[in-house]
Amino acid sequence: MNLRPFIDDVASQADDILTGVTDRTEARTSISDFIALEYPKFPAADRKSITDGVMFILEDEGFFGERFVDSFDADQNTDEDSAPDA
């Protein structure tokens, strides 16, 4: 069975599925739970393949880098007077 359409469908809903999620492990669990609800008749192996495919797409698109930025990193280099001495 070609699972690509299902992977693309779930990946396109990632913003909604992962609302409030704080890390990749939680994201994987949320995606897996969503797939189990949406496609309960799929064998466990197919649901895992869809989860893996969605996680791959999200990683490849930088979803986690943008979404899970450490607040410390976000505050870096904001002071204009902090240029290094020459």
Q: What is the CA radius of gyration of the chain?
A: 18
Please give the backbone phi and psi of residue 42, each rounded to the nearest 5 degrees, phi first: -70, 145
> What is the domain extent for residue 54?
4-65
Burial class (CB in 10 A: 0-12, 13-18, 19+), 71: exposed
Residue 74 lies in a domain: no
- CB-CB neighbours of 8 under 10 Å: 14
CA distance 51 to 46: 9
Q: Count the domains in the chain.
A: 1
pLDDT at res. 20:
85
Confidence grade of residue 85 (pLDDT, cut at 50, 70, 90): low
Give, to the nearest 10 degrees, the angle between helix 24-38 and helix 44-60.
130
pLDDT at 57: 94
Tell me the per-residue pLDDT of 17-26, one tens digit each, with 9 for 90 and over.
Answer: 999 887 899 9
**pLDDT tens digits, one per residue of 26-82:** 999 999 999 999 999 999 999 999 999 999 999 898 887 755 544 444 444 444 454
Residue 27 lies in a domain: yes
Say what the pTM is. Answer: 0.73
